[in-house]
Amino acid sequence: MASFLVKAAGYWPFAILPLQEVWFEAADGARLFGWYVESSGGPATLLWCHGNAGNIINRLENLVELYKHGLSVFLFDYRGYGRSQGRPTEEGLYQDAMAAYAYLSASRRVAPERLVIFGRSLGGAVAAEVASQRPAAGLVLESAFPSVEALAKHHYFGLPVHWLLGARFTLVDRLPRIAAPILVIHGDRDDIVPLELGQQVFDAVRGPKAFYLVQGAGHNDLYLVGGTPYFQRLKRFADEVIR
């Protein structure tokens, strides 16, 4: 397995990551790209469904910290993002995440009881779609919103990205169907998805759940403001649910 020292966005990450490039296909044939990083620090693997802004290269610094804290991670780009083919649609993003789950299961032999699905912002509904249809040890929802409709009511004059027009991403409708434990993470200064929407997400969870508030964090700096305690909380959740 090759290791690469990755330079991106003008900074050097703080570790040598054993990044493995992955190409895989969605059910409709869309060719998708991702990175797999395997850690020896524990048995948990994180399937990471990112938000609507940027692509996987913008998550490198975050990925370094997850790896350093003992988590294996599969981070992939949805269709139309980064090197992945196609154009983003709501149904397409669901297909992409299901294909990522299938890749981990078939190609990496990651058992469901070792898998934690992580969804950030828009990726919360995507992650929940997978968790409502496939077994997993746990689900993490970070800076997530109940639905596009709820988010649009907050922003009034438009959504953060144009292609969301006509999409629903109803996270709250999926949560009652999920039996796995759920960790909800939110910043108290999030001006894109305000804390009250994060609380609505938490309230919709019917199974085992926990809420982790990051004081002083907005929408895009949550892991930076949260620092080491944030990553320790993620690792603790993963360790708890895979036992």
Backbone torsion region of residue 126, taken as left when φ is above 0, otherwise alpha when ψ lies between -120 and 50, otherwise beta = alpha
Give ∠ CA 9-216-212 in degrees, rounded to 5: 95
pTM of the predicted structure, to 2 decimals: 0.91
Nearest in space to 82 (alpha carbons), one of 116, 59, 98: 59
If one counts every other C-beta atom within 10 angstroms of the C-beta of residue 218, the result is 17
How far, CA to CA in Å, does 10 sit from each of 13, 60, 68, 84, 224? 10, 12, 21, 23, 17
pLDDT tens, position by position, 85-139:
999 999 999 999 999 999 999 999 999 999 999 999 999 999 999 999 999 999 9
Structure tokens at 31: 């060719």
Please write the tens of the pLDDT for every residue from 163-184: 565 678 999 999 999 999 999 9
* Domain layout of the chain by residue ranges: 19-241
Q: Which two tokens stand for residue 98?
A: 């299901």
CATH number of 19-241, picked from 3.40.50.2000, 1.10.10.1100, 3.40.50.1820, 3.20.20.140: 3.40.50.1820
pLDDT in tens, 208-228: 999 999 999 999 999 999 999
CA nearest neighbour of 44 among 16, 75, 70: 70
Q: pLDDT per residue over 28-82, tens digit each?
A: 999 999 999 999 888 999 999 999 877 888 888 899 999 999 999 999 999 999 9
133 burial class (0-12, 13-18, 19+ CB within 10 angstroms)? middle
Q: How far apart are the first and last CA of the chain?
A: 28
> How far apart, in whole angstroms, are the C-alpha atoms of residue 157 and residue 94?
27
Mean pLDDT of the chain: 90
What is the biggest distance separating any 2 CA atoms in the chain, rounded to whole angstroms?
49
